[in-house]
Structures are given as C-alpha cells and as structure tokens.
Amino acid sequence: MAAFLYRMGRLAFRRRWTVALVWAAVLAAVGLAGMTAPEAEEEPFSMPGIESQEAFDLMEERFPGAAADGATARVVFVSSNGEKVTAGKNKEAVEAAIAELGDGAQVASIVDPYESGAVSEDGSTAYTTVTYKVDAAGLTDAGRSHLDESLEHARDSGLTVEAGGDAMQDMGGPSGTAEAIGISVAAVVLLITFGSLAAAGLPLLTALIGVGISLFAITALAGPLGLADTTSTVAIMLGLAVGIDYALFIVSRYREERAKGRAAQEAVALATGTAGSAVVFAGLTVVIALAGLSVVGIPMLTEMGLGAAGAVVVGVLIALTLVPAFLGFWPNAILTRKDRKARRAGGTPRETRKVNGGTRWASFVLRRPLPVLLAAVAGLGALALPMTDLQLGMPGDEALSKETTQRRAYDALAEGFGPGFNGPLTVVVDAKGTGDPEAAAETVSERIGGTEGVVSVSPAQFNESGDTAVFSVVPTTAPTDQETKDLVNTIRGDRPGIESEAGAAFEVTGTTAMNIDVSEKVQSALVPYLLVVVGLAVTLLLVVFRSILVPLKAAAGFLLSVLASLGAVVVVFQQGHGADLLGVETTGPIMSLMPIFLVGIVFGLAMDYEVFLVSRMREAYVHGERPAQAVTSGFQHSARVVVAAALIMIAVFSGFIGDSDAMIKMIGFGLASAVLLDAFVVRMAIVPAVLALLGERAWWLPKWLDRILPRVDVEGEALTRPAGPEAEPADKDLART
C-alpha cells in the first residue's frame, strides 16, 4: 500500500497540470449535470416494516386521492376576556377570516368550525383546517403572503389567532451560516497550526473542490434516485470535515519531510505513501460506518449514509492526487516563513523539534497511566449514566420556540381540546370480505373507545367500495408522553380479541403512532448496526495495525465517547440542565434517528483520529523504537494536527447549535460533544494510557494470524529513506514561493 501510494504521489507531483485539469474537468462535468438536472420531487417519508406504515399504505390503496400530499394549515382562534368564539362579534370575525383564508389561489378547501364541531367545550377555542392544492414546497410566495395577511386581519378583530401545520414551515432552505462559521474557524485553526497562508488555504481549497463535486453529483442523481435534501446536507457537512482533515495530514507530513531536508518531489511521495496510507484506511472506516446505516432499513438514513460515504470517497481521492499536485505548484509556499527564508539563504534544513506539547503530554500520561485511565473512564462513565433514561421520539411543534406561531397554536389546541388533540391516532379497519363492514367498524370503534386513556373516537369514514373504514382516536395525553405510547401498545395488544369479535382486521397509524414505531425500530436496529459496523472496522484495524488489542481498545474507546455524548444530549435536551444556555425552551424525547445517526458519523470520525494517531506510533515501533518511546513519537508528530482536526470538526458542528430548530440544535450539540470527548479524552488520554500499560503486548499478534492477514504496510516500512537531502534537478525550478 505505502509503495503504491508513494508512486501515486510522485506521479501526481510530476504530472500536476494533468491532475489539476482532470479534477477541473470532473468538477465542470458534474457541475453541468447538477445545474441542468430536473428538480427532484420530494419523496414522502416512509418506514418499511412497521405497522403504521403498512396502515398508511392500505389507506392510499383503498382511499385513492384521499392521502394527497397537499399542504395544510391549522388555524386556531381563541377568544379573550372570558368571551366565547360562538358569541356574535367573535363568530363574525371567525367566519370573515375563514372566507378570506379560503379565497387563496392555491387553497383547495377549508372547514367551517361551527359546522364541523371544531369548537371547545368551554367555547373559548375553535380551529379550522386549510388544505392546499400543492405540497408545502409548492406553495408560492403569494400563497404564503396571503395566509400571513389573513391571519393578521383576523388578529385585528381582537381574537388570538395562531397557525400550525406544514404550510407554516420555512421552506427557504439552509442559510449556510453553520458552514460559514465552520470554514472561518477552520481557516484560523489551520493558520495557527501551519503558520502559513498557503498551507492553511490548501486544505480548505481542496475540501471545497471535493464538496462541490459531491454536491453536484448528488443534485444530478436526486431526481432519478429520489434523494431527499438531507442527503446533500449531510454530504456537505462530512465532506467538508474529512476533506480538510485528510489534506491537513498530507500537508503536515510533507512539511515534516521537507524539514528533514528532503527535496519537494520526494517529500510529496513519502507524505502520500505514509500519511496517505492512513488517509485510505481512515476513509474506509468512515465509509463502512456511513454505508452501514443501510442495515437499519430506513430509506432516509440509507440515502444520507450512502451520499455522505460518496463524499468521503471523493475526499480521499482528492487528498491522494490533487493535494500532491498542488504541492507541486507551491512546494515552498507551504513551508513556514522560517524555512522559506533559510532555503533562500542556502542554509541547512531545520531539524524537527524533539520536544513539543504532544511529547510533554505523552510523557505525563506515560508516567502515570493508571490514574489517567481511571479518571478518563470514570468521567466518561459519569456522563454516560443519563443514557439509561433515554427516551426517543419525533419532536413536533411542541419543541419549537414559544415565539413561533406554530408553538402557540399547539399550546392553544392543547388547552382548549386537551393535550392528546395534537396527536390523534388513526385506525384503519380492513373489512374486505366481511358480511357487514359497518357493524365490524362500529365494533372496533366501540372497543377502542372504551380503552382507558381514550378521550373520544370520531365517526368512521368508509371508502367508495365500502370495505375499509377510517376513524380518529384522541388520547388523554400528549403525543410524546409515555402514557400515549402505552395506549398504542394496549390497543395493539387487545387486537386479537377485538378482531375476533368484529370479524375484521385493523391497524393503528397516524403521526403519533408512526413516531412510536420509528423509535422502536431504531432502538431494535442499534445493536445489530453496532455489531456490523464495529466488527468490520475492528477487522480493518486488525489488518492496519497487525494487533489484536489495539483495534479492540479503539472500539471500546469509541463506545465510551458516543455513550457519554448521548448522555450529555439527554442531560440538556431531555432533562433540561443547561438548556437555557443553548436557547432550548422545551425539553422532551430525543429525536428517534439521533442515536444511530450520531453513532454512524462519530464512529467514522473517531476511527479517523485513531488511525492518524496510532499509525505514527506503529510506524515508530516498526522502525525499532520501544513501545513507550513509540507512543511519544506518535504524539510528537500527530498530536498537534489531530487537535487541529478535532477543533475544526467541533467548530463545524457547533455552528448548528445556534439554529432556531431544536432538532438541529440537538444534532449540532451531540456531534460537537462526541468529537470533543473522543479526540481529547479517548484518543489523547485513554489511548496512550492503555498502550503504556500494555507495553509490548499492545502489538501482539498470533503467528498463525500474522501469516494469513494481508500486509498493507501503512507505516511505510517498504519505502527507502535516504539519509540526507536529495539533489533533484526539479528543486531548482521549485525554489519560488
């Protein structure tokens, strides 16, 4: 592997114009394809293999056209000063608002609350549902403006008027603020790390090129494959993060080789052969973790995982080819100012520093490995404890800020009609083949209506064929309450007896039931996913490090960091400790997809740090250093860039904490916490402490296993290393800055 990548780096350096033009052509081609591709139609969220999805599919089959994806707005009217919305003046204002709302060009229908009975028992609250001819993405600015103006006119009458529903969603797309923050912080960190504008700018430039290629490619494929917007968002986030990291390690190793006196071409080749090998295997672990999301069986997660994995592959290829080519264009500009000045003056190359912050920290850990290990594990364990209280769900309008009209509409409906009104269950009765479908549906309705925890059951609505009925069930508790989940399980548990009495089958669906089913499916898929991903990655690291204990230690450290980060998420977003500091107004269940999403991304990034840090230790050990000395050497050469890479990641993810959306806050906080804990506690403390305690045993591998494992030579043992600087003719042409 190292020898092959050595030749690849050397060739990219010598044929830099060709390499640069090829990547420019690729960017132009996918850019043209992406810009000319037809706009992708938004695919509805689906979750194969769960009851609520099967019931929804049955509704679409038996009620053709009824499950149209038109946007809806639920407008809530609340009277003031103890008045009733049925009073003359207030009723006139509500009816005038309904007439104005229904006058929109894109409005398909609107329901009169006085005719449909959508008035609370105390008469203080009423609501209407506006249905549009198009989905939320298809609403025009004029349509949205008409809705907003109608709401304002209704408020002028003295009523409190709020609105929820997908028609109220902000469809403006991501602002790019988080990415801009991440890039800005990355530039500062790179500048501090390298002390050179060129060295800091090169990783940013190549990462942006890789992200551009990935984004255009996903855009071009979005239509044919039906990819969601989240696919490109995750690809951008991870493509940018790993693209910077991989280029950072190649450039850092190049500068290290130049500081030893090597010529530019040889330094590029050696950097690509050694650091490039680590990049390849680090990239493979990330790809395994992301592609492994497909085993969960959730289409959206599969798309996100494969799209991001593709972006990582592009980042690896650019690091191995375009970065060496750019180093050929600016071989000396990448160096520090001190080194450039020394070369212009014809001085001797600067010796690599033997003592730096990394070596001092490694020495500290090596002197007291057991206390450091115990303190780190105890700290992560304490953070992980709240994980035992983890509750999963899909937060809705109740998780929004109280300053939003959607949240105020949610609260008004809960106060006027009960907390369960915001999350009714939908029951689908399949009476096909039944002698009396109406009697069967009535039996199911009565039995479910008598279940403890049910407030009301709506009249059953039949399809044209008369063989399928649908009715709503309003629980006594809110959609995210544990009691609501218990109610759904109770209804489903009583199904055999109810179906036997009615002579017809039924299924429970609706947003609340869907969220419950999704949470249960994600929880049941988490362990198999971990087994598959961790198993494959441990096997890969076994080949890379030729050690039994190092890969196991890497996997155990990852589990500690990800459990601790999930515990931190529970503490803030579920239990509410410190929530005010992040602008989180409402706490509740953790988003269902959050744990498995966090595991997939963080596992790949954690293995990045593991490969980059430990590969330098392995390299030193293979070249004759004692185990403790090899740990110090690894930290001497890699600690600074690993810290820089982690800070860049944390900056990128922390940018999302400032978002107004509670779920985006949660994702940003979780990822930033995980990277912080993994990079600075696991990789910087636990890894050296464990290696110090294991000594020679850390690199033990049974002879029989050593014989059958393929040799990939990540440490570059096969590469020849001249003792002194080489006098290559090309260097005379590369003396410019």
Q: What is the reported pLDDT for 405?
A: 87
Mean pLDDT (the chain, rounded):
83
C-alpha 684: how far from chain center: 24
> Residue 329: which of 207, 211, 198 has the closest Cα?
198
pLDDT at residue 464, as a whole number: 85
Q: 127 pairs with which residues across the strands?
A: 76
Q: Which of 461, 455, 448 is nearest to 63 (CA)?
A: 461
Structure tokens at 417: 């009609």
Give the pLDDT confidence score for residue 260 in this predicted structure.
82
pLDDT tens, position by position, 430-475 = 988 888 889 999 999 999 998 999 988 888 888 888 889 998 898 9
Where in 199-354 does DSSP place strands (E)? none
Question: Phi, psi at residue 215, to the nearest 5°?
Answer: -65, -45
Where does the pLDDT of residue 705 fall: very low under 50, low under 70, confident under 90, or very high at 90 and above?
A: confident
Distance CA 401, CA 375 (A): 38
pLDDT at 577 over 80: yes
Instruction: Average the pLDDT over 364-385 and give the result.
Output: 93
Please report how the helices 662-677 and 627-654 are oriented relative to each other, as an axis angle in degrees rounded to 10: 170
pLDDT exceeds 70 at position 661? no
Is the CA virtual torsion 214, 215, 216, 221 positive or negative?
positive
**Which of 31-40, 100-109, 656-665, 685-694 is modeled with the greatest confidence?**
685-694
pLDDT of 719-730, one tens digit each? 654 433 343 444
pLDDT at 736 exceeding the cut of 50: no
Q: Write out pLDDT tens, residues 203-253.
A: 889 989 998 998 888 888 876 676 666 677 778 878 887 888 899 889 988
At 169-212, the pLDDT tens digits run 764 444 556 567 767 877 888 888 777 778 888 888 998 999 89
How many residues would you count in the chain?
Answer: 737
Q: What pLDDT, on the 0 to 100 scale, is given for residue 354? A: 62
Residue 485 CA neighbour count, 13 Å, CB half:
14
Concatenated DSSP letters of 37-77 = SPPPPPPPP--TTSHHHHHHHHHHHHSTTTT----EEEEEE
Widest CA span in the chain: 99
* pLDDT > 90? residue 320: yes
Query: What is the radius of gyration, based on Cα positions, of the chain?
Result: 30
pLDDT beyond 80 at 85? yes
Using alpha carbons, select from 548, 715, 498, 474 the residue that is nearest to residue 615.
715
Question: In the β-sheet with 107-110, what is the strand arrangement from edge to edge?
Answer: 107-110, 125-132, 72-78, 160-164
Percent of the chain past pLDDT 70, that is, above it, reads 88
pLDDT of residue 347: 55
Quote the pLDDT of residue 604: 74
Q: Tell me how far CA of residue 402 lies from CA of 162, 235, 393, 734, in angstroms.
A: 12, 32, 20, 61
Q: What DSSP string runs through 455-478?
A: EEEPPPEE-TTSSEEEEEEEESS-
pLDDT of amino acid 460: 86
Instruction: Quote the pLDDT of residue 303.
Output: 82
- pLDDT level of residue 381 (50, 70, 90 thresholds): very high
Quote the tokens at residue 367: 């002197």
Model pLDDT, residue 713: 65
| Among 383, 398, 396, CA closest to 570 | 383
For 214-238, b/e burial (b = at least 16 CB within 10 A) is bbbbbbbbbeeeebbeebbbbbbbb
Q: What is the pLDDT of residues 175-185, one digit of tens each?
A: 556 567 767 87
Q: Please enumerate, as own/partner, the contacts of 534-538 that have beta carbons within 8 Å and a separation of 24 or more.
A: 534/558, 534/559, 534/603, 536/288, 536/292, 537/285, 537/288, 537/289, 537/603, 537/607
Rounded Cα gap, residues 372 and 588, in angstroms = 35
**Is pLDDT above 50 for 262?**
yes
Tokens found for residue 93: 């204002």
DSSP secondary structure letter of residue 481: S
Q: How far apart are CA 320 and CA 733, in angstroms?
A: 23
Q: What is the pLDDT of residues 470-524, one digit of tens each?
A: 988 989 998 878 898 899 999 999 999 999 999 999 999 888 888 888 888 888 8
**Residue that has been written with the tokens 């394809």 in this structure:** 33
Question: Rounded mean pLDDT of 20-32?
Answer: 94
Locus of tokens 């800091």: 200
State the alpha helices, DSSP H only, in 546-626.
549-569, 594-622
Question: First vs last Cα of the chain: how many Å apart?
Answer: 32
Are 697 and 548 in contact by the 8 Å Cβ rule? The answer is no
Helix (H) or strand (E) holding 119: none
At 14 the pLDDT is 93
Q: Which of 287-296, 346-355, 640-649 has the lowest mean pLDDT?
A: 346-355
Structural contact between residues 223 and 37, judged by C-beta atoms closer than 8 angstroms? yes
